Chains A and B, each alone.
Chain A
Amino acid sequence: MVLTDTFTPRNFRGQSHLAARDARLRAILDHATRYFMTKRGVALEAFADREDHFGRARVARLAALSRLPELLERLERNATAAGTRVHWARDAAQAREIVAGIARDCGAKVVVKGKSMVSEEIALNPALEATGAEVWETDLGEFIVQLAQEPPSHIIAPCIHMSRADVAALFREKLGLADLADAASIPELTLLARRALREKFLAADLGVTGVNMAVAETGSVVLVENEGNIRMSTTCPPVHVAIMSLEKVAATLEDAADLLRVLPRSATGQRMSSYVSVLTGPRRTEEPNVELDGPRETHLVILDNGRAEVLADPVLREALLCFRCGACLNSCPVYQTVGGHAYGSVYSGPIGTLLSSLLLPTEDTRDLPFGCTLCGACKKTCPLGIDHPKLMLRLRERVCAGSPGLAGVAHAFLALHPLAYRLAVGAARAVDPGLNLLPRLPGLPVGLASFVDSRQPPRLKTPFSAQLRRSRKKGGA
């Protein structure tokens, strides 16, 4: 994932602290999460036999995981038979090298990209730019955050943290539209983006997208979107590269159809997203079925990047069921409060916490599973029945595994002996009533220091004599 010194889950605590104090951000998050939840609620209300459809979707995902190696081989075989070149990437670096290699081989000068979390995960854009190509995010929200040089803040709506005036200011500067007023309407801004990107689509040598699912039975990739940018990216450029994280396979077309029943409804409250593309190989060029558009060359990159190892953990592998509808983000009180950026990772909210913790080095993500109230709203919302809180606890265990330090042993003893606990707290309070000094004590373990730092003891009652003095003073004035 793209982790810089400032954008990293290592700073989750500090970033959450700042985000939670940002009143403007809170208002935007409040609006956005309610908007998504309301739309979703209305759609699910009208969704007949909802629980059965959810159950089928879950089993389709479970079935895929239970036969993952075999299905990936099958996918490879069928995609290859359809004319797609299949590549395997163990990690982000390999995936970047593969896609950059394809870009070099086809002499790509302009690359258009559909919205894809996995391409963010592997930090693809800098690698493509290093080949000398210009790279354009073409989903409107992604285009905006790319111009702003920020990471996306929501899986479904990458720029929910920006206002229309922010976007107008950005377009004025980056698209050379000096006359654009802050008061420009949203349809106007959308039209400007359409014009700017239409040129890029027509000039593009390479289209790069993610994958919502890949069908083992046929070697097809299924792409789901609303804007049409993914269709453009797979229609105009001569070469298409689809990057999939390896768990996104569906065994059969029936399974894919069952998942399509649920995904758009849960993501955006739509019965179906505006465009679903089922793509199988490059355009046909042999008589009698010669096609005039679509890529002449198609590639499928199967990315592991830490996922394969997760499959061995009977609890944590449930995170691999996720098909990225984003509903858990909107339902999460922590996400509602701090937003996506605080997580310091491409994936945010409940599922983001799980994925980041599983895919990134443990030392970078220790705090993430603790940024959770265990309220269970995510579990209740998830159409695939992922039990996020259970996985959070498992991750907490993992973070805390190993022999406990002295402070841990001491705390465990105190917690088991109420009298000793009260004595210790009483002693600490007598010396340091506001717990101001304790965190600064040299030699204090980091864990204990941050524990103390994040707590405030109830104030000691003001002595009667002081109260009396104060009331006298007031009376005298």
Chain B
Amino acid sequence: MSRQQILDTLRAGLAAAPLVVPAPPARPASLPMGADAWARLAEVLAPLDVRLRLAATPAEAAQHVADIARERAATSYTRWDDMPPGLDMDDALAGLSRVSDLGGGCCHALAHVDLGLTFAHAALIDSGSLVLVAGRGRPRAASLLPPTHVCLVPRSALAPDVSALPGLLRGHADTAGLPPSCLNLVTGPSSTADIELVLVRGVHGPGALDVVGLDWDI
């Protein structure tokens, strides 16, 4: 009833006054992805208080993750089940307790975990955005509830800018063509400036975001 009324009103309006849409300007070309991609990503992340640590080998990546856990004084962690191949993160975080039983209430289970470890399906250099696609073994809450979020970025995930988004959503569609239930762009830590316009990191989401770049072919 309402549906039909609304659609009829819209159609009548457009019939009475057709809206002609001009041709858009061409989409400006994305910056080329050169050898300096990591450096540019680091440069964009720095003002967001995000440090990019680059690892040339799986062992270095494990060392970085262990360092971050120590610096952030984490005693417990959760991680996505999926991890880029060749990385044993449980070994790197052996001193911490892993919260892995998320059945039932995932958010309740993760509410008091110190560190969440995920990986990026893409990292957008223009804005420093990490693209996280939720799915089986990749809960949304892992990058949201713990006060520290550590995100691994494989070299193959580097992309120029948000114009990569449509391709990412289509690329992660299921066999029926349905996009994933949740895709997040994460750009820096959770932040607010609502009180007196003073910037505070860490309101509802993580106050700390650490990025480890995996600089080898995966």
Interface residues of A (CB under 8 A from B): 31-32, 35, 48-49, 51-53, 55-56, 59-60, 62-63, 65-66, 68-69, 72-73, 81-82, 88-90, 94, 138-141, 144, 157-160, 162-164, 167, 186-187, 189-190, 193-194, 197-198, 201-202, 218, 220, 226-229, 231-232, 234-236, 246, 252-254, 256-258, 260-261, 270-284, 288-294, 302, 304, 308-314, 317
Q: Per-residue 0/1 for B1-14: is the Cβ within 8 Å of any A Cβ (1 yes, 0 no)?
A: 01101110111111
Q: Is the interface of B mostly helix, strand, loop or mixed?
A: loop
> Are B192 and A190 in contact, with the CB atoms below 8 A?
yes
Q: List 10 A-B contacts (CB under 8 A).
A: A52-B25, A56-B25, A141-B194, A218-B179, A260-B162, A272-B127, A280-B178, A292-B103, A308-B6, A311-B17
Chain B contacts for A56, CB-based, 8 A: 24-25, 27
- Taking A55-B25, A88-B3 as contacts, is the C-beta distance between A231 and B140 under 8 angstroms? yes
Task: State the CA gap A82–B176 with chains docked (Å).
Answer: 10
- Taking A69-B7, A236-B141, A292-B139 as contacts, is the C-beta distance between A276 and B184 under 8 angstroms? yes
- Taking A68-B10, A81-B178 as contacts, is the C-beta distance between A293 and B139 under 8 angstroms? yes
- Taking A227-B205, A228-B190 as contacts, is the C-beta distance between A189 and B195 under 8 angstroms? yes
Which of A234, A246, A271, A304 is B128 in contact with, Cβ under 8 Å? A271
Chain A contacts for B28, CB-based, 8 A: 48-49, 52-53
> Are B192 and A226 in contact, with the CB atoms below 8 A?
yes
Whether, in the assembled complex, B198 has its beta carbon less than 8 Å from a beta carbon of chain A, the answer is: yes
> Are B6 and A194 in contact, with the CB atoms below 8 A?
no
Whether, in the assembled complex, B58 has its beta carbon less than 8 Å from a beta carbon of chain A, the answer is: no
Q: Per-residue 0/1 for B105-137: is the Cβ within 8 Å of any A Cβ (1 yes, 0 no)?
A: 011100100000000000010111100001110
> Are B204 and A277 in contact, with the CB atoms below 8 A?
no
Chain A contacts for B111, CB-based, 8 A: 198, 202
For chain B residues 153-181, which have a beta carbon within 8 Å of chain A? 161-163, 165-166, 169-170, 174, 178-181
> Are B182 and A277 in contact, with the CB atoms below 8 A?
yes
Chain A contacts for B180, CB-based, 8 A: 280
- Taking A274-B189, A275-B185, A277-B183 as contacts, is the C-beta distance between A311 and B14 under 8 angstroms? yes
> Are A59 and B181 in contact, with the CB atoms below 8 A?
no
Q: Which residue of B lies closest to A60 (CB)?
A: B24
Which of B124, B144, B181 is A231 in contact with, Cβ under 8 Å? B144
> Are A159 and B181 in contact, with the CB atoms below 8 A?
no
> Are A275 and B13 in contact, with the CB atoms below 8 A?
no
Cross-chain pair count, CB within 8 angstroms: 269
CB distance from A120 to the nearest CB of B (A): 16
Q: Per-residue 0/1 for B69-91: is the Cβ within 8 Å of any A Cβ (1 yes, 0 no)?
A: 00000000000000000000000
Chain B contacts for A272, CB-based, 8 A: 124, 127-129, 162, 185, 187
CB distance from B97 to the nearest CB of A (A): 19
Chain A contacts for B218, CB-based, 8 A: none
A59-B24, A88-B3, A271-B187 known, 12 other contacts, Cβ within 8 Å: A59-B25, A69-B14, A139-B194, A186-B195, A202-B111, A228-B206, A235-B144, A236-B141, A256-B166, A288-B136, A292-B102, A317-B13
Interface residues of B (CB under 8 A from A): 2-3, 5-7, 9-14, 16-28, 44, 102-103, 106-108, 111, 124, 126-129, 134-136, 139-141, 144, 161-163, 165-166, 169-170, 174, 178-198, 200, 202-206
> Are A274 and B166 in contact, with the CB atoms below 8 A?
no
Task: State the CA gap A309–B191 with chains docked (Å).
Answer: 39
Chain B contacts for A140, CB-based, 8 A: 192, 194-195, 203
> Are B127 and A227 in contact, with the CB atoms below 8 A?
no
Q: Which residue of A lies closest to B138 (CB)?
A: A291
> Are A62 and B21 in contact, with the CB atoms below 8 A?
yes
Which of B10, B21, B144, B161 is A228 in contact with, Cβ under 8 Å? B144
> Are B126 and A271 in contact, with the CB atoms below 8 A?
yes
CB distance from B114 to the nearest CB of A (A): 15
Chain B contacts for A63, CB-based, 8 A: 21
- Taking A227-B204, A271-B187 as contacts, is the C-beta distance between A55 and B24 under 8 angstroms? yes
> Are B44 and A271 in contact, with the CB atoms below 8 A?
yes
> Are B205 and A231 in contact, with the CB atoms below 8 A?
yes
CB distance from B77 to the nearest CB of A (A): 16
Task: State the CA gap A60–B23 with chains docked (Å).
Answer: 10
CB distance from B86 to the nearest CB of A (A): 24
Chain B contacts for A313, CB-based, 8 A: 13, 17
> Are B197 and A35 in contact, with the CB atoms below 8 A?
yes
Chain B contacts for A51, CB-based, 8 A: 25
> Are B194 and A260 in contact, with the CB atoms below 8 A?
no
Chain B contacts for A226, CB-based, 8 A: 190-192, 203
Task: State the CA gap A272–B187 with chains docked (Å).
Answer: 6
> Are A275 and B16 in contact, with the CB atoms below 8 A?
no
Task: State the CA gap A94–B138 with chains docked (Å).
Answer: 37
Which of A193, A246, A294 is B134 in contact with, Cβ under 8 Å? A294
Q: Which residue of B lies closest to A278 (CB)?
A: B183
> Are B13 and A309 in contact, with the CB atoms below 8 A?
yes
Which of A32, A162, A276 is B185 in contact with, Cβ under 8 Å? A276
CB distance from A71 to the nearest CB of B (A): 10
> Are A257 and B136 in contact, with the CB atoms below 8 A?
no
